[in-house]
Chain A
Amino acid sequence: MSAPARAPGAPAAGRWPSTLPEAPGVELAGLTLAERILSVKAGRRVRAGEVAVVPVDQVMMVDSIAPSALSIVEDELGGVIQHPERVSVVIDHVAPASNVQVATTQKRLRAVARDKGLRLFDVGRGICHQVLMEEGLARPGWVVVGSDSHSTTYGAVTAFGTGMGATDIALAMVAGRTWLKVPETVRVRLSGERRSGVAAKDVALEIVRRLTADGATYASIEILGAGGFGPGERMTLANLAVEAGAKVGLVAPDDALRERYEVAPWLVVDEDADVSREVEIDLGEVGPVVSVPFQVDNVHPVGEHLGVHVDQVFVGTCTNGRLEDLHDVVRVLAGRPVADGTRLLVIPASSRVLQDALADGTVAALVAAGASVGVPGCGPCMGRHMGVLAPGEVCVSTSNRNFMGRMGSPDAEIYLASPAVAAASAAAGVLAMPEEAVGA
């Protein structure tokens, strides 16, 4: 029914067209990617530290924030949304509804979305960031504001994607624009080749470890040298930028991006631009890592934590719920069942991922191994439904936050890891290294 292994962000045929001007209209020499995008959008040359007011190409809101954002629009801002065609509502955080209250809120949300002419992605379509990428609703050079902190994910295609709260989202819908302090830039330069068994997740966590959880606060992380990373892997890199405090995580445009998107010629890295910090990461030095409770930047080699008993393994989320992640799980399981005393929960990031995983036998292999495969959405990532943790339980999760109480009980523990490490741990029942990565 659906072709397998379709890259996220790829249209059915050809490339997503650009909506940006070919000529920037302002002098961009010496500017970072973030400054370039905001300068073109603001119609004047802006530098880090200035406040720019820019038109917004896409506003995204999820079920947990959309009701309050829409109430603010209605009650405090006159009710008129300037460009309803540029607003997406995604029901993913509690999907399907877990109780009558949630169901009632979502029922109202659907009605308002229909009434206002907003684009609605309902229960089961998938996680907001994955869905917007699949639908071409984030493109190179666009400004995308989302009511979810992991809106940095759109940086995978060099879109200025950033998270905001309900009030900012409401204002962006009504004004059609938003205010942004132009961020300083932290440049992360990747070099060398990844070793076998080392995932984009390991590299993303290594970036967070190097920068620390507040090392890029308010900043743009400009990621160079991601040529060896596929479309989904770039989403993983950009997704975790916010865990270093960043406003955006912009993966530098390259030929691989230009194969899938028309990219305005001015959207390029300027090596002479002023950056506040530059970090070099030799990919050959990065091994499989885990982020140990309760902070994302508490990153250590998997080898230091082998043998920790694991009650639940969760593969999914906007960080690692794509087809290639599910493939990693099946490959590492290699026909082995999930260990007694351990649960493996797999939640595809979108209905398209699920279709592709059904079509190529991935889902069958997961179920045969003893996995539970869930409805595309956020799953238990933020502890609301479908797999919350009991006191004392340990979860290895491919998600992006291991804060205390994040997935349920404050006395549970979350280790963040790649899908490969998650799968190895599911088979072993303890935190384990995938065989393919031994020696990496």
Chain B
Amino acid sequence: MSAGTSGAERWNRAWRFGDAVNTDDILPGKYAPLMVGEDVFHRYAFAHLRPEFAEQVRPGDLLVGGRNWGLGSSREYAPQALKLLGVGAIVARSFARIHFRNLLNLGIPAITAPELVDALEDGDEVRLELADERLLRRTRDGGEQALPLPPVPDFLREVLQEGSVLAFYRRHGRFPGEDRPSPADPAG
């Protein structure tokens, strides 16, 4: 289903979720790396909400969420689990703040696009073409539908070009958007 076609182009699966998917849904706290080990925790992604997910997800797959994706904990190992499973991107109506930063830091594209959410169904075959700012969706007759991605803010573009905020900082010695020497430190 998600393994790609006979041609050179690879198709991925869209996994559709509802509103308010929280970080305990993405990775329950009791399966934190601290509890079960750095090497296996990702196998518990969506263990309660969608137990078949971790077994069936394939690298490059797209998660489609509703409002407030990723609310709750600051646990970076929740998106880290998705990264280890190879999740290609997440499209949602909106993202919770801390989780959004974590996705950005791990280099998982987090795309706020309600119109894409409306257009996608669970099990759709899709291909994300970030450089061309579009998402391809395979139609039932085997054709392709091109869905435009919303424009990426400059700040995010700067980060994604380097891969992550960490990579950006390592390369430039400053944060994205920090266009001046380090500010004086009032805390002294």
Contacts and interface: CB of A to CB of B under 8 A. Distances in A.
B66 to A, nearest CB: 10
A53 B187 contact: no
Contacts of A164: 74, 98, 101
Interface in A340-393: 382-384, 388
A245 B74 contact: no
B48 interface: yes
Contacts of A21: 186
Contacts of B183: 41-44, 53-55, 177
14 contacts: A21-B186, A25-B186, A43-B186, A53-B175, A53-B183, A55-B187, A63-B34, A175-B175, A179-B177, A214-B68, A401-B24, A403-B24, A404-B49, A410-B48
B76 A167 contact: yes
Given A19-B187, A165-B98, A404 B25 contact: yes
Interface string B145-188: 00000000001000000001110011000111110001111111
A281 interface: no
B96 A167 contact: no
Contacts of A401: 24, 72
B96 A43 contact: no
B165 A167 contact: yes
CB-based closest 3 A-B pairs: A165-B76, A382-B29, A167-B105
A93 B28 CA distance: 14
- The A contact surface, by secondary structure, is loop
Nearest to B71: A213
Nearest to B93: A214
Interface size bracket, B side: 35 or more
Interface string B102-115: 10011000000000
Interface of B: 20, 22, 24-25, 28-30, 32-37, 48-49, 67-68, 71-77, 79, 94-98, 101-102, 105-106, 155, 164-166, 169-170, 174-178, 182-188
Contact of A40 (B28, B29, B186): B186
A403 B25 contact: yes
Contacts of B96: 214, 217, 245
Given A164-B74, A214-B67, A217-B94, A179 B186 contact: no
Contacts of B176: 51, 179
A65 interface: yes
Nearest to A214: B68
A405 B75 CA distance: 16
Residue among A57, A86, A163, A247 facing the most chain B CB atoms (10 A cut-off): A163
Interface residues of A, number: 67
Contact of B164 (A44, A151, A167, A406): A167
Interface stretch (A2-10, A142-150, A301-309): A142-150
Contacts of B71: 213-214, 245
Contacts of A166: 76-77
A406 B101 contact: no
Interface in A166-193: 166-168, 170-171, 175-179
Interface in A34-81: 40-44, 51, 53-55, 57, 63-65, 67-68, 72, 76-77
Nearest to B103: A165
Contacts of B25: 403-405
Contact of A102 (B20, B35, B75): B35
A140 interface: no
A404 B24 contact: yes
Given A168-B101, A214-B68, A217-B68, A53 B32 contact: no
